[in-house]
Every structure is written in structure tokens, then in C-alpha cells.
Structure 1
Amino acid sequence: MLGLSLSGFTAPWWFTLVVGIGLLVAGYLWVQRRRRRNTLRFTNLELLEKVAPKRAGWYRHAPAALLGVALLLLTVSLAGPTVRERVPRNRAVVMMAVDVSLSMKATDVQPTRLAAAQSAAKSFVEGLTPGVNLGLVAFAGTATVLVSPTTDRESVKQAIDSLRLAESTATGDAIVACLRTIESFGKLLGGADGAPPARIVLMTDGKEMTGTTSSTVAAKDAAKAKVPISSISFGTEQGTVDIEGKTVRVPVDDEAMKEIAELSGGEFHKAATAEQLRKVYDTLGEQIGYENKQVDASRPWLALGTLAALVAVAGALLLGQRIP
């Protein structure tokens, strides 16, 4: 935590004390030089050797040098050193919106798009920071809030297991449902620090087909609410499903997902396989669950400075029977 890891100081003006420390060092050197000059003035050197006690060598200056180091360390601690550290977002709210339209039964992602999505989503839930409030929305022709934001991971995993396919895709309505849930929860959780930070994780594989609100309008509303959307385009261009005996192509719509992410101030992720989807969720877990903050790093400097001062005093008493 010391040295090169420092990223700033909260009270750098304390470093003006270094001038005082420099003056003390200069004064110490001047006193030592003057003492030597006075000693040389004693003309009877033979008598001086008999009456003057033998002085220690260079190490007699060690306590004074160590005391100077202690003062420097204590000065650094007073200046308030800080480091960037990952800290949990214990007030954050995350809404997962999962597409359960019929296209999710395509097998271009094994065993099916939905099954792979369920597995990756549960891994995401298990790895998310415990203090983050997580909710779940399922959408096809309509959007349904299955789980309101909670720290109870089991309820979310059970809801993920219960996902069932339905017709059509109302992506915009899913975003609106997430925003309303976040707003309601924020009013309950908000305090002196204001509304908690929030994000929507949107996973879908197809084009928007229905809904009362378009996905572009909903994404702009998310940007106004300062709720970025992490969109995950899941599947391949070769995806097909069997509907009433007919083979229907269900390619992913990457452009639509990119637009949603950009309009909301979020980011777009492409996941063409189950493994890629898991990696995306792992990345999101790191981004959502933690944030980088400047935290106090003065304690190690204070501890080292105090220890150095104590050793300096002990050394001075041992070598010269006086405090430097």
C-alpha cells in the first residue's frame, strides 16, 4: 500500500513540515561540526583522551537519523495519503431482463439459447457482490417482474429456473418495467446519499416485435434516469426454430442491441456461445458489484513513523544515555 501505490493526498499542505525537518537536520549537523571544532581547541590532547569518555563511532548518529525518518513518515501520514481500492457497491440495484420469446429455444447455442442463458444467469447471481440488490424481469409479448430487487439470491435463482417461453418480443416494455421497479425501490432505499446506483442487464436474441414503448424511447428514458443498460446480444446469425412444423430463421439483432446500449450510456456485449455468455456475466459482475474509490492509506505510514520514533529514542538512551 505504500510507495508507488499512492494515488493522491487529501491534505498535501502538511508537506510544508519537511522544511522544518530539513532545518532540524541542518541544525544537528551544525552542532556536530561545532562540537568537533571545540574539541580541537583543547590543546592537551593526551589529557583529553584520559578525561573524556570514549565516544561511539558513526552509529552514534543512527538514533538522530532514525528520528528524522520517523518525522518524514509521520508527515506523510498527516498529508492524508490515499489509494484506489475496489469496494463493494452495497446499495446498488441491478435488474436482469431476460428474453423468453420462442426464438430462445434455438439450438445454435447448446443445449438451447434459453437453457444456456439460465445457466449463465445463475452463475452471475451467485458471483454478484452479496450487498447488491438484484431483480428479475422476463419478457416476451409482455414484460413481467418476477423478482423485485433483493439480496436473497435463492429467490432469483428459483425464478430463473422457472422461465418459460412465450410468443413475441417486447424489448421496450421490459426496459420500462425495469426502470419503474428501480424507481420504486430507490424511493424506499434512498436517503441522505440519494437514489442508489442502478443498472439494467438486458439479454435478448431477436428483434423487437411488439410493445407499448419502443426500445429506443425506453433506452433514452434510461439515460435520463441515469440507469445504463448492459445489452447482451445472444445467439448466432444461423439460429433457427421449429414453429408449427416450419423452420423459421431467428438471427440475432446486434445493431438494435448496440443502439439500446449507446442511447442509455451503457455497453454492448456479443455472446455467440454459452462460454462467451458466462464470460460476459463475469465481466458485468465485476463492473456492477464493485467500484474504485479513493480510500485512506495513512495508517501504515503512521504506524511506521511511530515505530521508527520509538526505536530512535531507545537507541539514543542505549548509546548516549539521552534522547536525541
Structure 2
Amino acid sequence: MLGLSLSGFTAAWWLVLLAVVVALAVGYVLVQRRRRKRVLRFSNLELLEKVAPARPHWVRHVPPALLLVALVFLTVALAGPTAEQKVPRNRATVMLAMDVSLSMEATDVQPTRLRAAQASAKSFAGGLTSGVNLGLISFAGTATVAVSPTTDRESVKQGIDGLKLTESTATGEAIFAAIQTIQGFSQVVSGPEGPPPAHIVLMTDGKQTVPSFDQNAPRGAFTAARAAKEEGIPVSTISFGTVEGVVDIRGNPQPVPVDDASMEEIARISGGDFYRAETAGQLDAVYDTLGEQIGYEMKEADASKPWLLFGTVAALIAAAGALTVNQRLP
């Protein structure tokens, strides 16, 4: 929505012209007072009442007032106003790590955790701004880079569609693989400004089981989170599913509750954000939030356009009003 806002100026010295606008306003008032005195001194009041236009006295002052307002707007526009605005990132790397362990076959989220996660992840990929390079990692007993960072969203979506379930959950390996991929990609695309900012989005439904349940092990999830922190790569985690989740493994019902505590700790250690989602709708909302945070940034940007627009419109209305009301330009 177009609005008049500013937090600074790139050429503030142009604002000196506002003193000229103030002087014009004062001059106009003084001229009108002097003119009124002359009219009252030399006019026949009875005749003046008969020939004077049948309109409020203040109407003829509207066009000049609008012109002064236009000058204020145009002067501010010349000063180069800036405002903090949300702008798309033109360079960033995101690795989406998705759990494909057998627990993702649980139906506590319809139709299954995996199918719901795939649909939401594809929506997330499609909604990211074009300047973000998105990669995909799938992990169960090992971690696999399914798609290297790219701006080609279709290849990421195809990779998401191709995810297959397998045993175990190597959460730490997924984070390490994401870090390594980001480092390799950053060496290729790094420019004068340095490597692009990076982010890992980890979506899982359970606790690490590989290499062990000890998440502080050398290749454990918490160790990997600390490594991500050292590299300046936050890991935002999504704990997806419910505590009632159950899967059938070789004919035996196996409870697969989500592990919110571990996911929250990974996010805390790495400097990322923790989210939980128990339904497909909640997962969509989480991905929408992440898309806004990752795909956009707040920057001081040029805000002169609305000031220029409103100034031009006010000047045009002032000119039209002067011709209509006073039969001359102000």
C-alpha cells in the first residue's frame, strides 16, 4: 500500500527549500490582508455585495494552499527520503533437510506425515523469492543431498516428490551435510560482499537414532548444531506430528511420538527458531512464516515515489481549482 513514510534523507540539504515555501505562505497571507484593506477603503460595500460571487470567502484560497502543499511534497521528494522497507533478498542459500525415516509413515497427520510434509515443502519452495538458492537434503540412517542449492524451483519440487522412506534417523548427519553443502556452494558464488547468508530448515518428527541416541556424540544433532553456530548458519527446526503417532513395522505397532525438546534445543544452540506443527495446516503456516523471514529482509530503501506522486497530484488539482474558482492560475 502506498504511504508517506521516511526515516532519513539522502540529500537533506534540499529541505532548505521548505523555508522558501514558508516564505511564500507568509507572503500570500500578507498580500491578502493588504488587498482586503484596499478593497474596503475604495469599494462601495453595497455594490460589492451585489457583484461579489455567491460562494464562501475561503474557497478562493484553496488553490494556493494546495500549491503550497504540493511544493512541500516535491521538496521532500527532492531530499531523497528513505524508509525501512521489506525487500526480497537478492542472494541467500537455504538447505531444506527433510526426515524420511519410517516414522514419517504415521497417519496421525493425514494422509501420512510424509505426504503432508511433501505438499507443504513444495509450497514453501514455490513461494521463496527468486534470489534465494534452495537445496534439498533427505535423511534417515544417512543424509543425502538430493538437490544442490539452485534457483530452479521445479528441480527442488521433483526432489521432494521423489523422497522415499527408510530406517533410522541421523539428524546430526543431516545438519553436517547441510553445512558442508552450503560451504561448497558459498565458495562458488561468494562475491565482494562475501558469501551469501545461509539458513538450514530441518523438518523431522522424531529423535535421533544414528549414530546413537546421544545427541552430543561427535556426529550427533547437538554437536552439529554447535558447528552450525560456529559457521553463522542458523538451524530452524520444525517438529512435525503428534505424540499419538504410530507406525506398523514388520507387523508390530510402534509408537513414534514427536521429540519437541530435541528440536527446540537444536534451534536454540544454532541461533535458529523452533516450530511445532501437528497438522498439515499448521505446517503450511510454519513454512509461510519461514518464507517471509528467509526470503525478505528489512532495508533502508528509497521512499520518494509517494511524495513525488502526491506532490504532482496536489499541483494539478491546485491548477485546475485556480482556473475553475479564480479563472486564473495561482
For 1:314 and 1:101, locate their aligned partners in 2 and report how far apart those are by CA, in whole Å.
71
For 1:26 and 1:252, locate their aligned partners in 2 and report how far apart those are by CA, in whole Å.
72
For 1:206 and 1:249, locate their aligned partners in 2 and report how far apart those are by CA, in whole Å.
11
Correspondence for 1:75: 75
Correspondence for 2:230: 224
For 2:319 and 2:257, locate their aligned partners in 1 and report how far apart those are by CA, in whole Å.
76
Q: Equivalences for 1:1-324 in 2 at 5 Å?
A: 6-11=5-10, 14-37=14-37, 61-211=61-211, 212-309=218-315, 319=326
Offset at residue 59 of structure 1 (A): 5.4
Flag structure 2 segments of 5+ consecutive residues without an equivalent. 212-217
Offset at residue 171 of structure 1 (A): 0.9
**CA offsets per residue over residues 280-324 of structure 1, 9 Å max, x none?**
223222322233334322123223334544665677789587x75
Cα distance, 1:199–1:37 mapped onto 2, change above 3 Å: same
Tell me, what secondary structure is at the counterpart of 1:202?
strand
**CA offsets per residue over residues 151-192 of structure 1, 9 Å max, x none?**
222221222222222222211111111111112212222223
Offset at residue 84 of structure 1 (A): 4.4
Correspondence for 2:215: none
**CA offsets per residue over residues 76-120 of structure 1, 9 Å max, x none?**
213333444432223222111111222222233233322222222
For 1:126 and 1:32, locate their aligned partners in 2 and report how far apart those are by CA, in whole Å.
63
For 1:69 and 1:13, locate their aligned partners in 2 and report how far apart those are by CA, in whole Å.
19
Q: Which moved more, 1:280-289 or 1:140-149?
A: 280-289
Tell me, what secondary structure is at the counterpart of 1:157?
helix
For 1:126 and 1:40, locate their aligned partners in 2 and report how far apart those are by CA, in whole Å.
73
Cα distance, 1:225–1:21 mapped onto 2, change above 3 Å: same
Q: TM-score, normalised by structure 2?
A: 0.81
Identity %: 60
Cα distance, 1:183–1:32 mapped onto 2, change above 3 Å: same
Offset at residue 256 of structure 1 (A): 0.4
Contact 1:125/1:153 (8 A) holds in 2? yes
Contact 2:8/2:83 (8 A) holds in 1? no
Cα distance, 1:237–1:317 mapped onto 2, change above 3 Å: closer
Tell me, what secondary structure is at the counterpart of 2:219?
coil
Contact 1:9/1:79 (8 A) holds in 2? no
Cα distance, 1:311–1:219 mapped onto 2, change above 3 Å: same
Number of equivalent positions:
315
Q: Which moved more, 1:184-193 or 1:83-92?
A: 83-92
For 2:2 and 2:92, locate their aligned partners in 1 and report how far apart those are by CA, in whole Å.
30
Contact 1:94/1:132 (8 A) holds in 2? yes
**CA offsets per residue over residues 215-260 of structure 1, 9 Å max, x none?**
1121122223222212111222222333334333222111000001
Contact 2:147/2:155 (8 A) holds in 1? yes
One-letter identity of the residue aligned with 2:128:
L
Alignment RMSD, CA only? 3.1
One-letter identity of the residue aligned with 1:184:
G
Tell me, what secondary structure is at the counterpart of 1:226?
coil
Q: Which moved more, 1:311-320 or 1:93-102?
A: 311-320
Q: TM-score, normalised by structure 1?
A: 0.83
One-letter identity of the residue aligned with 1:291:
E
One-letter identity of the residue aligned with 2:67:
L
For 2:119 and 2:317, locate their aligned partners in 1 and report how far apart those are by CA, in whole Å.
59
